[in-house]
Structure 1
Amino acid sequence: MIDHDDIEAAAARVAGHVRPVTVAPAGERRWFALEFLQHTGTFKARGALNFLAERREAGVLPDAGVAIASGGNAGLACAWAAAREGVTATVFVPETAPAVKVARLRRLGADVRQVGREYAEAAAACAEFTAGSGALASHAYDHPLIAAGAGTLLTEIVAVRPGVRRVVVAVGGGGLFSGVAAAAARHGIEVVAVEPEHCRALDAALAAGEPVDVAVDSVAADSLGARRVSAEALYWAQQPHTTSVLVTDEAIETERRRLWTDHHLVVEHAAAAALAGAPDTDDETCVVLCGANTDPTDLTTA
C-alpha cells in the first residue's frame, strides 16, 4: 500500500509541472478544492505525470510510448503527460465516451481507439494492444504511482487550509480516494468517499470484503463507472479515518445545477457527486470538485 513517503516522492516529481490547487470558500466552514482547474481539467494529471516521470527515471519508458484505457479523463491526463515526456499515447475509450473528451484527446495528440460500451471493454482492448506493441501499460486508477500522484492534492489542501478536518471525494475506481486517504492518515483528517448508488464498486467491495464486479448505470458513469475498485482503495476504505456513502443520480443532478446557479461553476457529474455526499457538519470540510470535462448546455440559470 502507498504511504506518506510515496506521496512526498510524487510531490517532488510533479512540483512546478501541475497547477497548485485553488481552495475557495463555499459557505460556513466549507471549502471547495477547485481541482477542475488542473491541466486537462481533472486531478488525474497529477497521477499521470508522476507515473510517466518515475518510469522515465527508472529507464523503462519505451519508444512505443504508453497506452491506457479510460472513460476519458485518465486518457486526457495520460496524453498530456506523454506529450511532456515526448512519447506517444494510445488511448482506448468506450464508444459512449463524451464527444467533448474524445475531441480533446485528439487535440492533445493521442491515438484514440473507441471500443465497446463500457470501460471494461476498452480495458481489454488496451491490454491486447500493449501485449503486442511494446507500449507501456498505464491504468486509469489501479497503480501505486497513479494513486500517489493523486494524493499530492491532499497535501496542497492542508498547506492552504491547515484547519480542515474532513475532505470529501467522489470515487470511481478509487485512485483519487486511495491517494487522498493515504495522505490524510498522516494529518488526522477524515476522508468521505462518495459514489452514485448505481456505480458502487467501493461500497460493494466493503460489503464483500474484497473487490467485486458491479453493474454501472449512472449519470456520472463516464467518470465514476469502474466495474471494480482497486485493492488499494478497499484497504483505505477499511481504515478508521474513512467513510463510504452513496448518493442518488437525482442528488448529483441537483448539486451540479446548484454549483452553476449559486457559484457559476461548470463541473462534471462526478464533481457534483462529491458535493451531494458531503455531510452537514460544524467541522471544517473541503469538497474536491474533481473535473470539468463536460458539456454545459444542459445547465440553466433558471
Structure 2
Amino acid sequence: MTFTYDDVKAAAGRIDGRVRPVALARADAPAAPSAGRPPWFALEFLQHTGTFKARGALNFVTARLEEGSLPPAGIAIASGGNAGLACAWAAREHGVPATVFLPETAPAVKVAALRALDARVRQVGGQYAEAAEAAQAFTAATGAVASHAYDNPLVAAGAGTLLEEIHAARPSVTTVVVSVGGGGLFAGVATAAAAHGLRVVAVEPEHCRALNAGLAAGRPVDVPVDSVAADALGARRASADAVRLAAAPHVTSVLVSDEAIVAARRALWRDHRLAVEHAAAAALAALRSGAYTPGAKEEVCVVLCGANTDPGDLAGGPGPTP
C-alpha cells in the first residue's frame, strides 16, 4: 500500500495543534567552503519524544481511531528506540493502550522512558528479532493493531508534514537534506517535496545504506548494518515506497562516513550548542564532507531529526566560535 501527497495533507490536518511546529534557525556560516550560502536547520529534535517520529505515530493512531479500526487492545510495536517512544506517546495522547516489546537486554533508561509514557512494556528474549516475533504473536492473539517504525503509509505521510511546515515557514528553501534509516521520514518528505518542486538529498552512513542499495538494485534489499548512527539509521531494508521515491529526479542519494558524522555532531555542539544524535548529524555531514555540494542558487535546509542521545561525549570541548 503506497501513499500520495493527499495523504500528507490529510495527516497535516489530523495532527495540527497536537505536534510542535518545527522551528528553523539559520547557521551563521556555510557548512563547508564549497557548500554555498549558510544552511537553515530544521530543529525537529524539539518535537515530542525528541524526534520526528511523533508525527507519524500520531497520524497512525488518529487515523485508526477515525476509521474505527482501533480495537480495545490498542496498538503494539517492537521497538525500544525512537519509534517505540513515539508510539507510546501518541497512544497516551488518545487514551488508548500501547504495548511495546523489547529484548531483555534493552537499556533500563529506555524501559523507564516507555513506562513514563504509560506503555505496557514486554521484555522478551535477548534480541530484537525475538521481541518482534513476540509482538506479532501478541497482535494475532489480542487483535491489537501492529505499528511499524517506518514501513507504513500513515507513518510516512505523518512524517511528510515536516516538509509542509518547512515550506510554509521558508518558501525560498529549494533543497532539504534528510538522514535516512528505513525511509519513513524520507518517503514522506520526498512526496511533499515533489508537490512543491523541492530537491531532497537522502543521506545514509556508508555502512547503513539500505536506501542507496535498494536504489541500485531497483527494489528493497537487505544490507549489513555497522555505523555509529546504527541505533537510529540501522534498518536492514528500506521500505518499498522509499526505494520507489529515491529514483525520482528530484532526489539525490549520498553516503557519508562515520568520521564525517561524528565531526558534524561535534560541530553542531561546538558552534551552535545543539546536542543531537548521530543520526541527525548525518544530514549535516553530507554538506561538511562534500558528499553533496549545493549549487550557487540553492537554499538548503538540513533536518536535525532527533536528539535522544547521551551528550556526555560532547562535554568539555571548546565553546562556540565567536
Note whether the superposition's TM-score is higher than 0.5: yes
Q: What corresponds to 1:149 in structure 2?
A: 158
- The correspondence of residues 75-86 of structure 1 with structure 2, limited to 5 A, is 75-86=84-95
Q: In structure 2, what is the equivalent of residue 287 of structure 1?
A: 302
- Correspondence list, 1:1-302, <5 A: 1-26=2-27, 27=29, 28-94=37-103, 99-115=108-124, 119-278=128-287, 279-281=292-294, 282=296, 283-300=298-315, 301-302=317-318
Residue identity matched to 2:277: E
Q: CA deviation at 1:104?
A: 1.4
- C-alpha deviation, 1:280, in angstroms: 3.4
CA contact (8 A) 1:100 1:294 kept: no
CA contact (8 A) 1:119 1:225 kept: no
Matching residue's letter, 2:307: A
Structure 1 residue 123, shift from structure 2 partner: 2.7
Q: Which is greater in Rg?
A: 2
Distance 1:275 1:122 in 2: 33
Work out the CA distance in 2 between the residues paired with 1:298 and 1:259: 13
Change (3 A) 1:119 1:230: farther
Please tell me whether the aligned partners of residues 80 and 111 of structure 2 are also in contact (alpha carbons under 8 angstroms): no
- 1:30–1:92 CA distance, 2 compared to 1 (3 A): same
57-66 or 20-29, larger mean C-alpha shift: 20-29
Preserved CA contact (<8 Å) 1:64 1:135: yes
Aligned residue identity for 1:7: V
| Distance in 2 between residues matched to 1:251 and 1:234, nearest whole Å | 24
Query: Structure 1: which 5+ runs fail to align?
Result: none
1:94 and 1:276, CA in 2 relative to 1: closer, same or farther beyond 3 A?
Answer: farther
TM-score normalised according to structure 2 size: 0.90
The C-alpha deviation readout for 1:116-168, integer Å capped at 9, x for no partner, is 66654433332222112221111100010000000000000001110111001
Change (3 A) 1:33 1:79: same
**Whole-Å separation in 1 of the counterparts to 2:161 and 2:264:** 26
- The CA distance in 1 between the partners of 2:16 and 2:94, in whole Å, is 15
Contact 2:80 2:100 in 1 (8 A): no
Give me the TM-score of the superposition, normalised by structure 1. Answer: 0.95
User: Equivalent residue of 1:91, what SS?
Assistant: strand
What does the per-residue CA deviation read over 1:42-96, in whole Å, with 9 as the maximum and x for residues that have no partner?
0001000001000000001111111012251011110000001111111124566
Structure 2 residue runs of 5 or longer lacking an equivalent are 30-36
Contact 1:115 1:122 in 2 (8 A): yes
- 3-state secondary structure, aligned to 1:287: strand
The worse-fitting range, judged by mean Cα deviation, of 40-49 and 209-218 is 209-218
The letter of the residue matching 1:49 is L
Tell me if the contact between 1:71 and 1:222 (Cα under 8 Å) persists in the aligned partners.
Answer: no
* SS across alignment from 2:148: coil
Residue 184 to residue 110, structure 1, CA distance change in 2 (3 Å) = same
Residues 97 and 73 of structure 1: CA distance in aligned 2, closer, same or farther (over 3 Å): farther
- Give, in whole Å, the separation in 1 of the partners of 2:251 and 2:272: 28
Partner secondary structure for residue 194 of structure 1: strand
| Cα separation, partners in 2 of 1:217 and 1:264, compared to 1, 3 Å | same
Q: Decide whether aligned partners of structure 1 residues 292 and 250 sit closer, same or farther in structure 2, where only a CA change above 3 A counts.
A: same
1:204 to partner: Cα distance:
1.2
Decide whether the 8 Å contact of 1:100 with 1:293 is kept in 2: no
Equivalences, count: 302
Distance 1:96 1:189, change over 3 A: farther
